[in-house]
Amino acid sequence: METWQLTAFLRNERGEDIGFQFSVFRVGIVSPGAPPPSSVWEVRDIYLGNVTVNGMLQGGVDGDERISRGMPGVAGFDPDIHELRIDNWSLQFVEDTGRGEMQLDVAVGKVRAELSLTPLKAPIATDDDAAPFRGYSVTRLSVNGHLNGSQGRDVVSGTAWFDHIWGELPVPGASPIVWDRLQLHLNDGRDLSLIRSRRRDGSGAATVDGYVVDSEGQFSSLDEASTELVIARIWRGARGAYPVDWQLKANDLNFQVTPLIDEQEYDFAVPVWNGMVRAESKPGIRRIGGVGMMQLTGYQAQ
């Protein structure tokens, strides 16, 4: 399996916040050692893409999902033109400048996004020997571009987070494990990534895998000993009940994480609550805030 995920935290000229996420999953259906395909019609990979947009743009959320066979020009990563494509969605990696820039072009419902992305920090490797996957993350990129929606063509800007991982990857929400995933861009320049894993039956202990990258690119890891996560509120959707509001302590950080809007549940292949959140430190403490994306899987009714 291989995944590419781009999460952007945008603001338009009217000051409205928009969360945007573009994900593509490649599932190989033959072993890597298989002989080359005899024709372009021979299926080697299935691609699954999804895009979610939320925020004030539509007064709610929008999401779409695409499934395609891997085939040049239809779905897949084309190394000649450095482009990841699924149907009419594309993510172009700009090779000429050597700065790791990207161009995203996707359309979801009435929304079309054309975004230019420039890395602000060096990529970091997901380098855990115990894990059966490899990859890298660019935890902060600057974003500029346009969103076309019901109110016309908006100029947007903000920051984004990009992950590219390959190997044996778990399918979130399909196992007896609940995953609470959070990516935050803090306004002091730090980026925080965190996955909390718990048993769906509520027994056992929660474990945390995460890290903080500071404004200089310095990396420090987080685990359950250095992190305290208290659920402050549950939101009930059509497919499950999700802990959308957190009190989060991680090392010296201590803040409330709340969704921009509650209704960010998606009925994808596995039900997911996937949405933009805001982090705000408690009054009296050094004011640190930020924006981010929370992804909650494994909460569907049993």
Given the rule CB under 8 A, which residues bind other proteins? 130-132, 167-168, 170-172, 174-177, 179, 197-199, 201, 203-207, 224-225
Give whichever of 30 and 285 is closer to other proteins, judged by the CB atom.
30
Q: What's the 3-state SS for 183-234? A: EEEECCCCEEEEEEEEECCCCCCCEEEEEEECCCCCEEEECCCCEEEEEEEE
Nearest distance from residue 202's CB to other proteins, in Å? 12
Give whichever of 134 and 282 is closer to other proteins, judged by the CB atom.
134
Give whichever of 107 and 177 is closer to other proteins, judged by the CB atom.
177
* CA distance linking residue 297 with residue 242, whole number of Å: 9
DSSP at 256: E
Spatial contact of 141 and 130, defined as CB atoms under 8 Å apart: no
Nearest distance from residue 221's CB to other proteins, in Å? 9
- Closest by CA to 267, choosing from 173, 198, 202, is 173
* CA distance linking residue 259 with residue 135, whole number of Å: 28
Nearest distance from residue 113's CB to other proteins, in Å? 31
Give whichever of 44 and 199 is closer to other proteins, judged by the CB atom.
199
* CA distance linking residue 277 with residue 260, whole number of Å: 5
Nearest distance from residue 67's CB to other proteins, in Å? 19
Give whichever of 88 and 220 is closer to other proteins, judged by the CB atom.
220
219 φ, ψ (degrees, to nearest 5) = -110, 135
Cβ count near 123 (within 10 Å): 16
Nearest distance from residue 209's CB to other proteins, in Å? 8
Nearest distance from residue 111's CB to other proteins, in Å? 32
* 49: three-class secondary structure by DSSP: strand
Give whichever of 45 and 209 is closer to other proteins, judged by the CB atom.
209
Give whichever of 10 and 212 is closer to other proteins, judged by the CB atom.
212
Nearest distance from residue 23's CB to other proteins, in Å? 17
Nearest distance from residue 258's CB to other proteins, in Å? 26
- Closest by CA to 196, choosing from 169, 178, 173, 183, is 178
Give the Å distances, CA to CA, from 23 to 3, 6, 164, 171, 192: 7, 6, 10, 13, 19
Spatial contact of 168 and 1, defined as CB atoms under 8 Å apart: yes
Give whichever of 187 and 207 is closer to other proteins, judged by the CB atom.
207
